[in-house]
Structure 1
Amino acid sequence: MAFQKPSHTFTKIHLKALRTNNFYIVFILSFTVFINTFSYAQEVPKPKDPIKPKPINDTLVVGVDSLFSQPINIKEKDTLVSDSIPKKKEFLTDVVKYKAKEYVSINQRLQKIYLYDEAEVYYQDMEIKSGIIVIDYSKNLVYAGRLKDSAGVYSQAPKFKQGANLVEPDSIIFNTETKKALIYNSRTEQSGGYIDAALTKKENDSVYFIKDGKFTTSENRDDPEFYFYMRKAKIVPNKKVVVGLTNMYIYNVPTPIGLPFAYFPMTDKQTSGIIFPSFGQENERGYFLQNGGYYFAISDYIDLAVLGDYYTNGSYGLRVESSYAWRYHFRGNIGFRYENLITSERGFPDYAKSSVYNIRWSHNQDQKSNPSSRFSASVNLGSSRYYQESLNQLNASNFLNNTLSSSVSYSKTFQGEPQVNMSVTATHSQNTNTQQINMTLPTFQASVSRIFPFEPKTGTKKGIIQNVNFQYNVRAENRIQTTDSLFFKKEMFDDALTGVQHSIPFTTNFKLFKYFSLSANANFDENWTLNTIKRYYDTTNDEVVTEDIRGFDSFRTYNFSTSIGTTIYGMFDFKKEGKDPKIQAIRHVMRPSISYNINPAFDEYYDTFDVITANGTTRQEYSRFEESIFGAPNKTFSSSLGISVANNFEAKIRDKDSTATEPKKIILLNNLNFATSYNFAADSLRWSPVRVSGGTQILNDKMSINFGAVLDPYALDNNNNKIDQFNINNGGSLFRLTNANINMSYTLSSKSFSGETDTDRNAELESLRSGGRSDDLFGKPQDFADKRLTDEDRSEKDEEPSEFYNYKIPWSLRLAYAVNYSNNARENEISSHSLMFSGDIELSPKWTVGASSGYDFKNQGFTYTQLRFERDLLSWRMNFSWIPFSTRSSWNFFIGIKSSLLKDIKYDQRKRPDQQL
């Protein structure tokens, strides 16, 4: 084969540079031509020839004694002359089973068998069921057709089945010797698609040739919404379809959408293939193609998708994703994204260039694989501005994230007495606003289960001595704090902190006066560190200098605590003789608890240095462990008494069901907690603020309410500083409300009133893996390039909907309300006040509208808003998503075929607003 120079075959065209990267565009087009020239259609690989064994000749020569002579082969010829007329090949080589409801007639003269009404013929792997069947054993043919009544109505159309292939034609002619057939007006299903052909020639049990065929995925076989009209086609069932001139018809109206020839792989297995991109225009970067690439079906355990984005101004993106699974062992997915973003054009003042990346990894181990050890991973790290600057529509619902977090852990349990647990964890936390990154690489933790040295050999443990127990815990950590600019560079390890903490807690508990539970705890900690400091005053530069010291150092601390608590039950009965009130009783459970804690002062770990200024010499105190990984030990002695009360309220109400024998129990308050403490060792402000928290669920657990408040007993002076004087003695109330908050979430749908449960809609995995919300309060993430829509049928209802109106309108509503009050320094203001909502309503069986938005009552403005419109077009689906305002204002339009077989036949458009100056 010889190659001719392109200059000899193509006319040279002078191009005017409209964009800065026209060379790359021409290069990409040339690369596309090269691929199309040397690419081949996807075929099922042919089986390789088996390796035949090579014969080995024995080289050993065995001598034969001459006494043993070989017998002479004598053939005796029969004197009878054999018949020169060959025997006629039999028509049937196997048993034929046939039956008919009306009659079975055999015509010996014509050599035909007639079967009428519900006729059936079974021969080898062939089955024919039809209204009438004629077997012509003189020509090795079988005819099958429909029955026609006096009104001219046809019935009992043939059903021809051979192997796993089923064809439903109007009539069929089958040759039992060659296994070929002519099929008229056939209907067959192939891998989720339907093929109707005017004439089909069956070559063998694996090859069909059709003429004037229609291919569709519509459920309406008689009047499909769309189909592809194929003039000629070759079908290999469950393998491939090769067609000639083909174009699409929509409601029997031809469209210019077509191909001169095409190849469609038809298989139930996972196969590799091209992922068609989404296209559109972005005013700052020109026209673009997004999320186009190739899918590699590597094996049944792992796959790979390589996708890319390209913009005509030179911006591009790369996305690599892989999913893996091993049944009963583990499953997970890993992804890497990189985007090189260019704003405007080179030479313009607003020209800018930046790159962002993101790495995600999720791994889950099956509990059945190894109960004693477990490995899991949830990684989401990368550039802090990735979700804010990324142009890919897949990240639209995650740009509000302000934190990225990761965790990779391995845990192991060593069975025995005592049991030992060990875990190694690497964590990552990233603030996308401050671009600060905190990492632990790694954290090692180990613990020994509780040991009871004085427990009895038999029976239960009783008393203070027998319940004495202790355990051993160790924690080793390497902590790194860095920024985006130093991430993955050696400088990020310069300020790493390393330390080990050993802890031995001693505890015991016992009953006191039958109704009280008393526990005592003593804890001993030893801390090792490789990071300490030395602080001194530099008289030359007149400044305090802190010097880092690398080396081993340690300190030890201990503390003691004890607590006593009980549980009090109360019942308020509202029943009276002759009356059956709706609220029959209220049950109150109260759990008061008093604790006492002693934390000694460890002054021996503190040093001093002198600071010389013009005003004199002052002495400052510091601990060399201040900047160590676990901090400095306690400097001040504390002896505090803690008081807490936990409450729970339930009610018994009369059940609406008159047949119920017991009243219905509902929860009034899940919890209502009060907590405060008194420090005996403090010289002032001994009482800590009273903290109140509570929560409940109402409306059949559809609405969740949580609230909290902080009540300070001390007053403020004129400068809004807290003073050692009770607020009530300063002319105020008993407590001063400093902080309060309330959060409510509400989920409701039409199914809540019909007694049906909400179906678990397919969670947006892409949003969750990227740290997004599981609900759609921030909008629904949508993939318009690779929209893998499923052919989910509507659930069948007991009652058929009306033809004139949808008397049951499905709907759903999600609300999230939050308000925070602040009054620490007499500001007396609402620090934050917002309402987020999201809902969908099905206006008709085909139309669905939805919205996600919110309102900030403090700043008086709407939050991120998304409007959604969806139309079910039977075999097609149309979707329109619109973000009307904000810096990410945009709209997306999508229309495509639902079937996964033809999911690449779609049209989508995305539009961003003009650049605002």
Structure 2
Amino acid sequence: MTRQKLSHSGTKIGLKALLAKKPHILLALFLLLFSILMRAQEIPANQSLNIQSEKEDSTSISVKEVFPNIVVADSVATDSIPKDTVQPFLTDKIKYKAKDYMRMSKKENRIYLYNQAEVYYQDYELKAGIITIDYTKNEVYAGRIKDSTGNYSQLPYFKQGSQVVEPDSIRFNFDTKKALIWNSRSEQSIGETMNVDAEITKKENDSVYFLYEGKLTTSSNPDNPDYYIRVRKAKFVPKKKVIAGFSNMYLADVPTPIAVPFAYFPMTNEKRSGILFPTFGETQRRGYFLQNGGYYFAISDYFDLALLGDYYTNGSYGIRSETSYALKYKFRGSLRFRYENLVNGQRGFPDYSRSVIYNIQWTHSQDAKANPNSRLSASVNLGSNTYYTESINQINTANFLNNTLASSVSYSKTFPAYPSVNLSLTANHSQNTSSKTFSTTLPALQASMERIFPFAKRDGIKKGVFQNINFQYSLRAENRAEGDEDVLFKKGMFDNAKNGVKHSIPISTNFKLFKYFSLSMGTNYEEVWQFKTIRKNDYNNELEEFTIDTLSGFDRFNKYNFSASLGTTLYGTFNFGENRKIQAIRHVVRPSISYGYTPAFDQYYDEYIADEFGNIKEYTRFEGGLFGSPSKGRANSMGISLSNVIEAKVRDKDTTVTEPKKITLLNNLNFSTAYNFEADSLAWSPVRVSGGTSLFQNKMSVNFGATLDPYAIDPEGRKIDVFNIDNGGSLFRLTSANMNVSYSFSSKSFEGGGDSQVDNTASGGRDDDLFGDSRSLGEQINFDNNSKDQATDKDISYYNSHLPWDLRIAYSLTYSNSNRQNSITNNSLMFSGNIELTPKWKVGVSSGYDFKNHGFTYTQFRINRDLDSFKINFNWVPFSNRASWYFFIGIKSSMLSDLKWEQRREPDRNL
């Protein structure tokens, strides 16, 4: 259809009216029409507009309807682009809205959004005070807005997937995915939060950013950080790394001389190999040093390795390797090896000495889900007896005071078929660092079969004497070596080892007697195999002594015994009324009488001439065996015991609780003694008294014991066959007594909260901090980083009258009076406490006092200061031969843990 002229569609009269002689009227009509057309382009502020492809549902507004000027006309036959390939400039929905207004300018080809503007496109999310969309360049601009006071607000918030950037302004292209960002900020959550700020950031693609004048900090206040690392130019890969050029550290916006020509900052949860920077310092005896430097190998997700070393200018050095391994639902463990070559003094001088110390630690635990019928576990701690006391890189005070090294490696296997059998193979080791002796069992085999009831059905109820008859079988085989530390793990270690096998078959039954009594009877058969025996030869006049020969070869003996016990339980309840605070007290008494008989096994004894006078003595060739020896005399004794438990019902402090609360007043109070029917004198054994209770909601533990002897002693302190009461004394003579009291409580105890506990057992110390915190300062910082930052849950202001604190007390008292010495052999008090002066100031002390020797025990003062991003620790041992101090300041973040400073004064071991 061709276009007609105006004269073809109108009349001359109408044309004359349009040609009126008043042109200002025509101008006014034109302006009115233009304003109406322009107002028609405005969009209500609270409306969201979806821009989508023409292929979408016709109910949505299409690109062709909103932007008709960018669609190619069908009448253009010369268009080189086929009709089927014409696509709108956006390939997905774009949603946007604003609070005040949204305006679309066809002349500028832009959309303007103002005040709380938001744009959503694919996985991109953009929020800002003002946003401009240029739909010809496919770009978006976002910035802040200024309020009436001149302050900027509504900073842009740009999110792509999980990556978030909060700049002052941003320019982003939807096609190239590139962006230019001014004053950006990004949080990298990789276990810890690393804030990355930059004046100008260029987004190259979804995973690479280039920074200009950037700041990196882990401070909890990114707007005003207490420290940051300034990087001039850097490449930033989110959640992976930052590679920077010249970088230096700023404290409170003040530059420091801590700088490097280039830097690499890993920002990933995955393990990465890298250098472990050493700690440097100086000691009086060994000169300057570098400690804890080395390399960390992130071998795989299941295994890693750290090689560390120390070097001192006087020639001392140390090497360590530490590795951890884990396989989910299977097992986990760690292995540590430490070796130190210590040099004291200078070669050629009298005070020169050299020593070598080492330590090996291995832990392994198997997940219960891995295999229910077999299990491997290990806890190994062995090495030089002087390792903890002489190590130049050991500040673990709990290990310094620990005088025992113990190890155990075991494998167990269960065969579940009836009757089930349990097998376990164990290797044990124990060292006493005071006596410098060791004891090791390598190996120990234990086998046991489940209990069998031959006269009863397997799943039936067992009644009476015969149906309750049961027996078991167990086997234990050991190879045990003992001796001085000098032969540990050397050729002659097992020259004097003891070995043997013991078989045990216990047979027992139990039943009710007279309805209220429980009677148990049993016998036990044992057979012992030995592979070494002895032979004592008669007295030799030339040698002036008798000789002992050790015979190698298999030999055996057996022994058996009979036992029976009769017991019952008595209950006594005293009611005081429901309106009383203590409503009732219940006393439980369990008396029991036991009898044991073991015959004499004289057939295993021989005679020899012991001296030049012809005196004949008896001995058994199994003497000194691993599992004892057969008894020479007959044993026929009766045991008496009485146990008591006292409980109470008290009214709950909470008036809404209707049921009374049950508490234990006395956990146990036990009395025991025995009578030997075969003894011709002193037939009664001393009465042993023991008891314990818990007080203050189980926060205080009290345990006590005493030994009461019924026999008197002569003036020389020897026990005589006369009762003490017949000798003018009391019924019993107190020969020994002991008491141990421990109390652990804190300010939370009075607030209804739980008490905190320090776990130092990982390195072999105590499970409390009575000897001080056994973790090194670096371990303490890592522990604090893994736990929630305490300052976030506390008021930053001073505590005023409320100061959190904790206190642990342990008191020990031992009394001895076996031969009228009437002395206190041990009387000591140990304590450890901490108090938080402010949410970020914490001081603590661990010490004790020996009332017998009138002196303080090992004492340590601790000061901890939390500086938000930094941690300050100061430990001080004021006296003793371990007098020393240690100061540390460093960044809490593990990513920047190498930024630290340490200073120490080692103890002078010459004192």
Cα contact 1:184–1:198 (8 A) shared by 2: yes
The number of equivalent residue pairs is 828
- Structure 1 gap ranges (5+): 1-79
Question: Cα gap change, 1:256/1:722 in structure 2, threshold over 3 Å: closer, same or farther?
Answer: same
Q: Give runs of aligned pairs for residues 95-106 of structure 1, distance below 5 A.
A: 95-106=93-104
2:616 matched to 1:619? yes
1:689 paired residue number? 686
Aligned with residue 155 of structure 1, among 144, 153, 156:
153
Q: Distance in 2 between matches of 1:631 and 1:137?
A: 96
Moved more, 618-627 or 144-153: 144-153
2:844 paired residue number? 850
What percentage of aligned pairs have identical amino acids? 61
Q: Give runs of aligned pairs for residues 561-640 of structure 1, distance below 5 A.
A: 561-575=563-577, 580-613=579-612, 616-640=613-637
2:785 paired residue number? 790
Aligned with residue 128 of structure 1, among 126, 129, 137:
126
- What do the CA deviations read for 1:360-413 (whole angstroms, capped 9, x no partner)? 111111112212222111111111111121122343320111111111111111
- What do the CA deviations read for 1:841-880 (whole angstroms, capped 9, x no partner)? 0011221000111111111111111100011111111110
- What do the CA deviations read for 1:521-553 (whole angstroms, capped 9, x no partner)? 111111100010011122221112111111100
Question: Cα gap change, 1:280/1:611 in structure 2, threshold over 3 Å: closer, same or farther?
Answer: same
Cα contact 2:648–2:662 (8 A) shared by 1: yes
Cα deviation, residue 180, structure 1: 2.3
2:265 matched to 1:264? yes
Q: Distance in 2 between matches of 1:202 and 1:462?
A: 83
Moved more, 705-714 or 191-200: 191-200
1:11 paired residue number? none
Cα contact 2:430–2:440 (8 A) shared by 1: yes
Cα contact 1:380–1:769 (8 A) shared by 2: no
Question: Cα gap change, 1:136/1:564 in structure 2, threshold over 3 Å: closer, same or farther?
Answer: same
Cα contact 1:640–1:677 (8 A) shared by 2: yes
Q: Distance in 2 between matches of 1:85 and 1:313?
A: 83
2:883 matched to 1:883? no
Cα contact 1:357–1:383 (8 A) shared by 2: yes
Cα contact 2:421–2:447 (8 A) shared by 1: yes
Q: Secondary structure at the match of 2:396?
A: helix
1:77 paired residue number? none
Cα deviation, residue 277, structure 1: 2.2
Question: Cα gap change, 1:513/1:227 in structure 2, threshold over 3 Å: closer, same or farther?
Answer: same
- What do the CA deviations read for 1:563-602 (whole angstroms, capped 9, x no partner)? 1000000112233xxx933333221100000011111111
1:18 paired residue number? none
Q: Distance in 2 between matches of 1:329 and 1:383?
A: 33
Q: Distance in 1 between matches of 2:95 and 2:580?
A: 77
2:175 matched to 1:177? yes
Q: Distance in 2 between matches of 1:910 and 1:802?
A: 31
**Alignment-mate amino acid for residue 454 of structure 1:** F
2:382 paired residue number? 381
Q: Give runs of aligned pairs for residues 626-775 of structure 1, distance below 5 A.
A: 626-759=623-756, 763-764=759-760, 768-775=761-768
Cα contact 2:576–2:582 (8 A) shared by 1: yes
1:489 paired residue number? 490
Moved more, 697-706 or 621-630: 621-630
Moved more, 560-569 or 541-550: 541-550
2:316 paired residue number? 315
1:546 paired residue number? 548
Q: Distance in 2 between matches of 1:643 and 1:471?
A: 27
Q: Distance in 2 between matches of 1:557 and 1:458?
A: 33
Q: Give runs of aligned pairs for residues 7-22 of structure 1, distance below 5 A.
A: none
- What do the CA deviations read for 1:174-212 (whole angstroms, capped 9, x no partner)? 233333222111111234211222222222222222222
**Alignment-mate amino acid for residue 865 of structure 1:** T
2:414 paired residue number? 413
Greater Cα radius of gyration, structure 1 or 2: 2
Question: Cα gap change, 1:794/1:176 in structure 2, threshold over 3 Å: closer, same or farther?
Answer: closer
Moved more, 147-156 or 222-231: 147-156
Aligned with residue 829 of structure 1, among 820, 823, 826:
823
- What do the CA deviations read for 1:253-286 (whole angstroms, capped 9, x no partner)? 2222222322222222111222222233222222
Cα contact 1:791–1:898 (8 A) shared by 2: no
Cα deviation, residue 117, structure 1: 2.3
Cα contact 1:420–1:448 (8 A) shared by 2: yes
**Alignment-mate amino acid for residue 634 of structure 1:** S
- What do the CA deviations read for 1:677-731 (whole angstroms, capped 9, x no partner)? 0001111100000000000000111000000000001111121111111111111
Q: Give runs of aligned pairs for residues 34-433 of structure 1, distance below 5 A.
A: 91-190=89-188, 191=190, 192-433=193-434
Q: Secondary structure at the match of 1:500?
A: strand
Q: Distance in 2 between matches of 1:802 and 1:178?
A: 47
1:819 paired residue number? 813
**Alignment-mate amino acid for residue 559 of structure 1:** N
Q: Distance in 2 between matches of 1:103 and 1:657?
A: 60
Q: Distance in 2 between matches of 1:339 and 1:395?
A: 16
Cα contact 2:166–2:184 (8 A) shared by 1: yes
TM-score (norm 1): 0.87
RMSD: 2.2
Q: Distance in 2 between matches of 1:219 and 1:504?
A: 67
**Alignment-mate amino acid for residue 174 of structure 1:** F
Cα contact 2:881–2:908 (8 A) shared by 1: no
Q: Distance in 2 between matches of 1:891 and 1:796?
A: 27
Question: Cα gap change, 1:820/1:677 in structure 2, threshold over 3 Å: closer, same or farther?
Answer: same
Cα contact 2:640–2:674 (8 A) shared by 1: yes
Q: Distance in 2 between matches of 1:617 and 1:330?
A: 65
Moved more, 131-140 or 428-437: 131-140
1:74 paired residue number? none
**Alignment-mate amino acid for residue 288 of structure 1:** F
Question: Cα gap change, 1:658/1:435 in structure 2, threshold over 3 Å: closer, same or farther?
Answer: same
Moved more, 109-118 or 811-820: 109-118
Cα deviation, residue 791, structure 1: 6.2
Cα deviation, residue 89, structure 1: 9.3
Question: Cα gap change, 1:302/1:478 in structure 2, threshold over 3 Å: closer, same or farther?
Answer: same
Q: Distance in 2 between matches of 1:120 and 1:456?
A: 78
Moved more, 410-419 or 666-675: 410-419
Cα deviation, residue 165, structure 1: 2.1
**Alignment-mate amino acid for residue 189 of structure 1:** E
Q: Secondary structure at the match of 1:756?
A: coil
Moved more, 85-94 or 819-828: 85-94
Q: Secondary structure at the match of 2:527?
A: strand
